[in-house]
């Protein structure tokens, strides 16, 4: 039998340490967020529905986004054993420069709508973490404003070729003059996708007050206080080009863009250029042969063509087709550092996060973006250690199996019944 005794107060104190209370509400809620999904939950609670749904939603039935996230969840890892990796190196050289982590911040439009610190928070957090930050053509902080927020870090610029080509040319020149080192030429937006959540919410840019938005805002006064007491929401880099926000948005979508436009931008841009929105093997090879510096496999976060290809599923075949010396990046669906590790193992040189960054921004401004990066860094490092790899260069396809729920159906002529 176990010998029983009276509790020893000294031993109890040793075993029962009370947690020091945290009186800073923002720090307390961010420290409690252990995953990107935790940040999403906080963001949803703190942000009006229309703004949150603009970030969280995708096109039509949102199948592309759902499938992209499912593809990462359907990963099976194959760890090596007895391969100590007490210290892991998460750094990578990408597009002529360093990144402390194998991901950067993707371009997002209307960013200050989600939380008023917007791109300044993203650029500052990227600078502190030593990773690239990408500013969108439809960003709400100017090219020069992002440079001021991240004066010594790596800034990239995402370009839409607008109907008025001279606007795009001038943006290209301004980004180059500000020292941005990489241009992301986006090709998957000839027209706008059908964002049904936005239509159902009566969402518009700039936001229009309705009875529904007022009722939804009542438990979120901090968002409206921030929104109403800070500079007006606008496309900051386009603020001198004329036209309303709606007119500028419409002008950004042009179904006539072609390889001729790429050639013009290539001549204007002195730095690296990557093509964002590539969705098949054939285009990947053609772009490599055209002399661009890299591609981003992306379906625009599922926000354009619903049922578009899943970038993560495309990755192995694209890598095989373009070879090892061509830069291939990937976005869409990344919600965990393990997703990033799996992408690198299957051939991605780099990844980009969009919604994950915005969830952190909505959850806590700059501190929330810092928390996003910290969560992903921890997950990357832990996954690498558990796989038994000490550097990203050690990751290889043998570490990952892509389990699939979506198997293409091939029908031969003999299968077709003519009635």
DSSP string computed for 8-54: -HHHHHHH-PPPPP---HHHHHHHT--SHHHHHHHHHHHS-HHHHHH
Q: Where are the domains of the chain?
A: 25-402
Q: How far apart are CA 338 and CA 316, in angstroms?
A: 17
Cis-peptide into 206, omega within 30 deg = yes
DSSP 219-248: T-HHHHHHHHTSPPP--GGGTTS-S-HHHH
The strand pair at 182-186 and 400-402 is best described as unpaired
Q: What is the pLDDT along the chain (419 residues), one digit of tens a residue?
A: 788 888 787 777 777 777 787 777 889 899 999 999 999 999 999 999 888 999 999 999 999 999 999 999 999 999 998 888 889 999 999 999 999 999 999 999 999 989 999 999 999 999 999 999 999 999 999 999 999 999 999 999 999 998 889 999 999 999 999 999 999 999 998 888 888 888 888 776 666 666 777 777 778 888 888 888 888 888 888 876 655 555 666 677 788 999 999 999 999 999 999 999 999 999 999 999 999 999 999 999 999 999 999 999 999 999 999 999 999 999 999 999 999 999 999 999 999 999 999 999 999 999 999 999 999 999 999 999 999 999 999 999 999 999 988 777 755 444 444 44
Domain 25-402 carries which CATH code?
Answer: 3.20.20.70
What whole-number distance in Å separates Cα of residue 417 and Cα of residue 21?
71
78, 152, 300, 313: the catalytic one is: 300
Give the predicted TM-score (pTM) of the model: 0.91
300 catalytically annotated: yes
């Amino acid at each position: 039998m176990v010998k029983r005794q009276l509790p020893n107060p000294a031993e109890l104190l040793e075993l029962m340490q009370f947690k020091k209370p945290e009186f800073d509400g923002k720090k307390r809620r961010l420290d409690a967020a252990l995953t990107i999904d935790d940040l999403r939950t906080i963001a949803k609670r703190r942000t009006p529905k229309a703004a949150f749904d603009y970030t969280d939603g995708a096109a039509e039935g949102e199948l592309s986004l759902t499938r992209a996230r499912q593809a990462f969840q359907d990963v099976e890892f194959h760890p090596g054993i007895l391969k100590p990796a007490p210290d892991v190196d998460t750094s990578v050289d990408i597009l002529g420069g360093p990144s402390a982590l194998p991901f950067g911040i993707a371009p997002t439009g209307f960013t200050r709508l989600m939380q008023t610190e917007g791109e300044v928070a993203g650029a500052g957090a990227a600078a502190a973490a030593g990773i690239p930050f990408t500013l969108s053509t439809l960003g709400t902080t100017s090219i020069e404003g992002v440079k001021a927020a991240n004066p010594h870090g790596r800034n990239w610029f995402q370009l839409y070729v607008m109907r008025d080509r001279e606007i795009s040319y001038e943006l290209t020149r301004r980004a180059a003059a500000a020292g941005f080192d990489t241009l992301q030429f986006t090709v998957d937006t000839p027209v706008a996708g059908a964002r049904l959540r936005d239509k159902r919410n009566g969402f518009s840019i700039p936001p229009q007050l309705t009875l529904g938005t007022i009722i939804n805002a009542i438990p979120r006064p901090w968002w409206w206080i921030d929104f109403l007491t800070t500079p007006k929401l606008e496309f900051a880099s386009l603020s001198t080009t004329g036209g309303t926000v709606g007119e500028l948005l419409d002008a950004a979508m042009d179904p006539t863009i072609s390889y001729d436009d790429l050639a013009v931008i290539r001549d204007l841009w002195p730095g690296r250029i990557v093509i964002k929105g590539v969705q098949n093997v054939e285009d990947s090879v053609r772009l490599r042969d055209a002399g661009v510096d890299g591609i981003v496999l992306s379906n625009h976060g599922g926000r354009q063509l619903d049922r578009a290809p899943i970038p993560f599923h495309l990755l192995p075949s694209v890598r095989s087709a373009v070879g090892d010396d061509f830069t291939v990046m990937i976005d869409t669906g990344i919600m965990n550092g393990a997703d990033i590790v799996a992408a690198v193992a299957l051939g991605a040189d780099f990844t980009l996060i969009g919604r994950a960054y915005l969830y952190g921004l909505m959850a806590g401004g700059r501190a929330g973006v810092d928390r996003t990066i910290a969560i992903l860094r921890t997950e990357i490092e832990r996954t690498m250690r558990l796989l038994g790899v000490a550097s990203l260069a050690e990751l290889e396809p043998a570490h990952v199996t892509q389990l699939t729920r979506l198997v293409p159906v091939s029908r031969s002529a003999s299968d077709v019944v003519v009635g």
